[in-house]
Structures are given as structure tokens and as C-alpha cells.
A and B are shown apart, each in its own frame.
Chain A
Amino acid sequence: MATVTLNIFRGNQEKGYFQSYTVETFEGMVVLDAIHKIQREQDASLACRWNCKAAKCGSCSAEINGKPRLMCKTRIDSLPIEEPIIVTPLKTFPVIKDLVCDVSWNYEIARKIPPLKLADEGSKEPLRMMQEDVERVQEFRKCIECFLCQNVCHILRDHQRKDIFFGPRFMIKLAALEMHPLDVEDRSEFLKEVAGVGVCNITKCCTEVCPEEIHITDNGIIPLKERVADVYFDPIRGLLRWLKTP
């Protein structure tokens, strides 16, 4: 029987250590399978989050050999297993226990975002939108809120500036609203003053880790930056851009 060894962070924000576990492997095994095996067979107190085991819910985010990934989407046989696999919690958020972080900040941010606003509020008519006009929005709406992008964005991770920047996840959330063909809300001031779109310096680290392969920077943040720039620095062009076709 082939085996694999995992060195897993145990502890919380204040103190912690690495514990090593060796488990038998099976075909197609992913890191989350290994964690579940450890819970069942060796240590039932090892904490992690998961729900779908199918890369659909965004619960099982962690750092595997230093790379932010979904544990349920990371196959053991895709990793070099001569060495122990190192599993640590997301670095950007406070650790509650083991692999479980306090990600509540993200949910607080979500509350601040001005929701969709339609011109014919209150009507019950079906909306008319063409597929080609919603494709971009649909790309952003693929987001499973794994917060891996939030975890790698250096503004949040290294500089801990959660006070000035909402982070990539919420940039594409804003982009999805802004690019909705029938939305009439004006979020340009909000984007600039509150969400901090200007702070992003387009390093694209967020795009690299997104398990949904959303083009966060190119399709989301850059167009948002252009919009804000237009509104603030070129009122005429800005106005033209902002007039959305009905």
C-alpha cells in the first residue's frame, strides 16, 4: 500500500505547531480525502471546512505546499509525495483552529455593496437581455467565494490594509453589478472612495489562484478602473460610457 505524509498546521492564531500524519492513498485521492481519513482514523479533532467535495462551494480553501488551493480539487498524485505535503490555513485571515480561518470580514464587506437596481423597479415583466450581453457578468458570477484571491492579494495579505481595499472577490462582485445590462445604480464614487479600486496595482496574483478561472484583473478590475477614471477625469467620455443602452 502506498502512503503519503502530510504535515498539517495545528493550533490557532496565538500558537501552533505542525503535526505529521501518514495515510494510505487510493486512486484519485485529493488532499481533502486525506484530511477526512485522518479525522476518521487518527485524530477526530483536526478541524477543516468542507461541504461539496466537488469544487462548487468554496469551503475547503487552504495553502498546500505554500500555494492557496481548494483541498477538494488538489490531487495527491499531482504533488511531489517523496516529501511531506504541507497544509496550512489561509494566511490573510485569523486562524480559529487548525485549517479553519475567520473569514467573517468578507461577509461584512458584502453587506456594504449597493445591490442591483433596475429602472422599472416593482414591475413583474420578464427581463430582456441577450446572451452575448450577459456573458461577462456570468463569468464573474461563477465565483464560489473561496476567498483564495483575497488571501493572495498583497494589499490584504502583506499590508493588511483591509480598511482601504475590498479585495479582488468584491471587485468582481462590483463588476458583475456594474456590467449587468439593466442595472442603473451609479457606483463610481463608491468604487473609488469606499471599495478602493484605485489601490489595486494589477499584479494579477488573484487571477492566478482563482479555481473558477475568472479573469479577475483583465475582465473585472481593469474595466472598473477605466470607468472610474473616465467619470472622474473625463466627464464627457464618462457620461457617454455610463449611458447604458436600455
Chain B
Amino acid sequence: MNNYEVFNCDVLVIGAGGAGLRACIGAMEKGAKVGLVTKSLLGKAHTVMAEGGAAAALGNLDTEDNWEVHFRDTIRGGKFLANWRTVEIFAREAPERILELERYGAVFDRTGKGLISQRAFGGHKYRRLAHVGDRTGLEIIRTLQDKAVSMGIFDYPELTIIRLLKDGDRISGAVGYRRMDGGIVVFKAKAVVLATGGWGRMYRFTSNSWESTGDGVVLALRAGAELKDMEMVQFHPTGMIWPPSMRGILVTEGVRGDGGILLNSKGERFMFNYVPEFYRKETAETLEEALKWVHDKKNYRRPPELLPRDVVARAIYKEVQAGRGSEHGGVYLQISHMGADYIRKRLPSMVDQFLHLGNVDITKEPMEVYPTIHYTMGGVTSDPETCATNVPGLYACGEVATGLHGANRLGGNSLSDLLVFGRRAGEAAGEYAMQNESGEISESEISEEVNLLMEPLRRESGENPYQLHTELQDTMQEHAMIARTEEGLKRALEKIHELKERAKKIAVKGDTCFNPGWHQARDIQVMLTVSEVIVRSALERKESRGGHWRLDYDLEDPYWAQHNIIARLENGEIKLSHRKVPEMPEHLKKIIEG
């Protein structure tokens, strides 16, 4: 065997979402020859789906806004689990990155003065999200794609990386297969940037595409990199639950930012009953105040619907548990009171999508929503300045990386995360590649991996990968979703072990030419490993914080407020440890307290 194509480059970027594309630009600016791989076609990565906007303290509408307020909001929203330096860099640099994007060709919505318009979003004190209607992600991905293409990127679309290759301690490349024909491609690279996005496919109701299996986490883990806070999964409060074909699809937070309200089956605006002490000062206390805020954001406090996502998601869960849920087991999200013209202007694709796919006219009637898995705060540990992992030559940025969002991500902070750390990762990888020679690649690593990949095709009969996936989704949905218990998590772990055994016996029909069953056979292996790390980390964190809610440890715990959970692979086993959250310098503490 070992029949493969070879591509030589300085920097290999894995992933063509916002983070990967921005990394390509950064690396090319350092003079590196850059290869880019993606599982889909160019421009289709998850980033394309982002709706609401990209958070940056430009202060175009609320001039009081600045990086310090953004810093404070992000640290507090993340329940103090974030790395302060990561957040500092992020809050300081986000405005510059947004303005740069505009110079690459992005055309954001404008203010009356001709500047970039900014929208209110959960957890952000001021109007902060640069946006384009409700298709901000599309604008960002297309802009970066065009820029990278015009700079001369070497792209390999529809190619899945299955293993990182190493020369001793350091990265020397990666190997993957083309979806189109199953052809094996080996990339020799001096540095590799992981920008593989998040993982949500192991849950039943998900706003994530088939791509979101968590490949980056497993690639990194197997190469010796550290993962952090993998229990921290974000459940977006407003996923569609009806009709069934739209279940899990996201209703952007923009709906609430633009005046949408949450109601239970009794027509009560229940979020007023769930305002945590921590946020009381900045949240409207009465219906009147919340209503006035929609038109006068300066003089009134924000409505409780815009509390951070974890708070809103738990409140919805509790309302439904208490028997005040909607017809199909969710709650109502209503925006019709804002008037049809306003809604059509602010949320055009939302209106269209609901009318067309759900027969729901959101300008007239409410939507039915329930929390859906949405984002993964945990991921590969990387250095705030350079995005370097603990493996020399390996960098991580975007959703696959961790450190910025702590226990809960604020809406809008991901898109600017991609820009800030995509650039930093790309530039650092570019510099590293220009200063180092290529490493050797190992034939044995390649053939071992390719063998594993091909096995399911060689078996006459065995397990069906789709069946295993369904069972995994049911397990994670039941036991590792929004409300967790020790008992449930242990059951999930048992099931994952059972599925891992069965996954060794998967058989698929057909050949290597665009064969979804075969792709799924590989993806399920990855998802099982990721699920195991999520569940084990969730068992370990015996408290409730942000996205992680333990019914049996319903409070925040001071010990855990200061500890991240680290996961590593040792002799094929996942090992967990606790690590102290780096202490914030005094001058930043003042910002938080102030």
C-alpha cells in the first residue's frame, strides 16, 4: 500500500471556517506557502450559518463602549473560567479586526453616520455586534475566502484529515482522504493550524452540520496536545422544536436583541422570575422598563430575555419541567408585537425560513423554542499570544480552541474570536515555519491510519454506523445535555464504552467514491472519543457553572471557580487533571469589579 499523493507546504491549515481562512491570510502575510483543507467545499463551513453578528467594542452607537467593558462582560459571562490574557487580547483587538474585514470587502449594515452598525445581544452591556441583517457569518466567510483566494491559497476542498503526523515531539504534517474518490493525501508541513470548529453531532437536537464531529479535538489529543474544560458545552436557549423537520435549527438571539420576548403557556413573561443576583443591577425590573428599552437603550436596562445563554436556557428547562411548556414541549418566543415591517427589515432570512419551512409567520405568531446544542467552549489548550499548543508546530484557533469563553460564551464573541485568534495563529505558524526546517513523516503512522480507515469496507457484515450514531445521540441527549447528574453521566459513559466496542465491527457497503456510510464509519469513532471526554469531564466538575449544570451539585463551588479540567491521552487512555486558572493582574481585576 502507501499509494498516496504528497503536498508540500510551510503551513497547513485544517479548516476553512472564519478561523482557518483568517489563519491562512496571516500565514501568507508572513511569506509562508499555505495549504488549506476542508471537509466541505470552500465557503460552506459552519461559520456561514452565523446570524447575529460579531462583537467588537467599536462604540459606533454607544460611545461609552470600549475594550474594558467588553473584557468585563466576557469574563463575567464566562463565569471566571476564561484565561484573562486571552480575553484581554480579544477585547482589545476585535475592533481592529472588524475594520480590517471591511477593507477586505465586507459590507456591514451602517449607522446614520455611515459607520458600521451595532446590535444589542445577550450579556453585552452595550450595542456591540457588527452585523449584516441576519447573515453575518456568510459575509465574513465570503470576505475571508475571497481574500485568501486572491492571495494565492492552495486549497484542498472535501478532504478529511484523519491524523497529524509527527517527527519526534514536533508536528511534521498530516494525512487525509478525499471524499470524492477516497484518495489518500499526505501533507508535509512545518506547522499545522487546527481550525476545525466545534462538535455538536453527538447530540440529537443540534444546530450543527455533519462536519461538527470534533475531529480537531481527537487529532490534537492523539498528537499529545491538551484539552481543557470539555464539559463546557453551550445550549442555545432558542432552538426550533416545531415542526419536526426544523427541530434543533437555531433562532438567532437577534430576535430577542430586537425586542423578542419569551412566554410560557400561561402567557407569562417568565424570565423576570429568573434574574440571578449577579445580574440584577443591569436588568430591567418591570415589563414597562423592558418594553421601553427596545426603543431607548441608553436610559433603560435590558430585558431579562437577554441574560447570558446559560441562564435563559435553564429557565426554559425549568418552565417546561414545571408544566408551563408549549404544545410541543418548549416555550414561546414572540416578536410579532414589534410590527411586520420592522421584523422584515431586521430579520429577513428568519421570516423567510419560518414561513417557508415551518408555516409560521413570525410577524404574526410566536415560535416554539427549546434549548439546542450550539457551541463548545472547551477544546484544545493554546497560548493566548500565539495560539501555540503544547505540541511544537501545532496551533489551534477558533471554536476548536479554548480559553476565551470560560464556562459560557456570549453571543457574537465567536465571530470576532475567529478573526483575532485566526490571525494570531496564522502569523505565529507562519513565523515558526519560516524559522524551522521540515520534519520527517512516518510511513508507519500513515499506513496504520489508512488501514483503520479502510477496515469497515473490507468487512462483509457488521454494525451499521448510522445505528451507532443514533444510539450515541440518544444517550448524550438524555444524559449529557442541559441538566446533568452523576447517575445519568455514568450511564452515558457505560453506553459509550459499549458503542466503542461495537464500533470496532462496523461494516459498510460500496466503495471509496463519495460514500456517506463510509464517512460516517470514521466520524462515529471520532464522536465517541469526544463524547467520552465530555462525559468524563462533566462527572469531574462537581458544581454548576455556565453551560455545565449538575442537578446534584446545583451551586457554584469556590474550588471549581479556580480550576480548569485538563484532559490528555496517556497510553491510549484519557487522563484528567485539575489546573489552576491563571490569576488576573490587579489592574484587570479593577475593571471587573468596577
In the assembled complex, how far is the CB of residue B552 from the closest CB belonging to chain A, in whole angstroms? Answer: 35
Do residues A96 and B513 form an inter-chain contact, with CB atoms below 8 A? yes
Do residues A50 and B210 form an inter-chain contact, with CB atoms below 8 A? yes
Do residues A59 and B135 form an inter-chain contact, with CB atoms below 8 A? no
Q: Is B510 among interface residues, defined by CB-CB distance under 8 A? A: yes
Select which of B107, B135, B349 is within 8 A of A180 by beta carbon: B107
Q: Is A184 among interface residues, defined by CB-CB distance under 8 A? A: no
Q: A134-164: which residues lie under 8 A (CB-CB) from chain B?
A: 134, 137-138, 141-145
Q: Is A228 among interface residues, defined by CB-CB distance under 8 A? A: no
Do residues A129 and B110 form an inter-chain contact, with CB atoms below 8 A? yes
Do residues B514 and A98 form an inter-chain contact, with CB atoms below 8 A? yes
In the assembled complex, how far is the CB of residue B120 from the closest CB belonging to chain A, in whole angstroms? Answer: 18
Chain B residue with minimal CB distance to A138?
Answer: B107
Do residues A28 and B44 form an inter-chain contact, with CB atoms below 8 A? no
Q: Is A46 among interface residues, defined by CB-CB distance under 8 A? A: yes
Q: Is B590 among interface residues, defined by CB-CB distance under 8 A? A: no
Do residues A57 and B514 form an inter-chain contact, with CB atoms below 8 A? no
Residues of A within 8 A of B246 (CB): 28
Chain A residue with minimal CB distance to B134?
Answer: A56
Do residues A110 and B149 form an inter-chain contact, with CB atoms below 8 A? yes
Q: Is B6 among interface residues, defined by CB-CB distance under 8 A? A: no
Select which of B40, B115, B464, B513 is within 8 A of A59 by beta carbon: B40
Pick from B292-300, B515-523, B572-580 the stretch touching chain A.
B515-523
In the assembled complex, how far is the CB of residue A5 from the closest CB belonging to chain B, in whole angstroms? Answer: 18
For B555-571 the 0/1 string (1 means CB < 8 A from A) is: 00000000000000000
Pick from B161-169, B310-318, B354-362, B428-436 the stretch touching chain A.
B354-362
Q: Is B374 among interface residues, defined by CB-CB distance under 8 A? A: no
Residues of B within 8 A of A56 (CB): 48-49, 135, 137-138, 349
Residues of A within 8 A of B357 (CB): 28, 30, 55, 73, 75
Do residues B105 and A116 form an inter-chain contact, with CB atoms below 8 A? yes
Q: A44-B520, A110-B146 are in contact. Are A51 and B40 (CB under 8 A)?
A: yes
For A31-48 the 0/1 string (1 means CB < 8 A from B) is: 001000001110011111
Residues of B within 8 A of A51 (CB): 40, 44-46, 48-49, 209-211
Q: Is B7 among interface residues, defined by CB-CB distance under 8 A? A: no
A75 to B509, alpha carbons, bound, how many Å? Answer: 30
Chain A residue with minimal CB distance to B358?
Answer: A28
Q: A73-B357, A97-B513 are in contact. Are A134 and B99 (CB under 8 A)?
A: no
Do residues B139 and A96 form an inter-chain contact, with CB atoms below 8 A? no
Question: Which of B42, B105, B107, B513 has the largest number of chain A CB atoms within 10 A?
Answer: B107
Do residues B48 and A52 form an inter-chain contact, with CB atoms below 8 A? yes
Q: A45-B510, A134-B107 are in contact. Are A126 and B115 (CB under 8 A)?
A: yes
A138 to B359, alpha carbons, bound, how many Å? Answer: 27
Q: B506-534: which residues lie under 8 A (CB-CB) from chain A?
A: 508-510, 513-518, 520
A-B contact pairs, 25 of them (CB 8 A): A12-B513, A28-B244, A28-B245, A29-B245, A40-B466, A44-B464, A44-B465, A44-B515, A51-B44, A54-B49, A55-B353, A56-B138, A58-B44, A73-B357, A97-B514, A103-B41, A107-B42, A107-B157, A111-B150, A115-B147, A124-B96, A129-B110, A129-B114, A131-B117, A138-B132
Spell out A's residues near B (CB within 8 Å).
12, 26-30, 33, 39-41, 44-59, 73, 75, 96-98, 100, 103, 107, 110-111, 115-116, 118, 124, 126-131, 134, 137-138, 141-145, 177, 180
Other 20 A-B pairs with CB < 8 A, given A12-B513, A131-B110: A27-B243, A27-B244, A28-B358, A28-B359, A29-B245, A44-B520, A45-B510, A45-B516, A51-B45, A51-B211, A52-B209, A54-B49, A54-B250, A57-B48, A126-B116, A127-B102, A134-B107, A134-B110, A138-B107, A177-B105
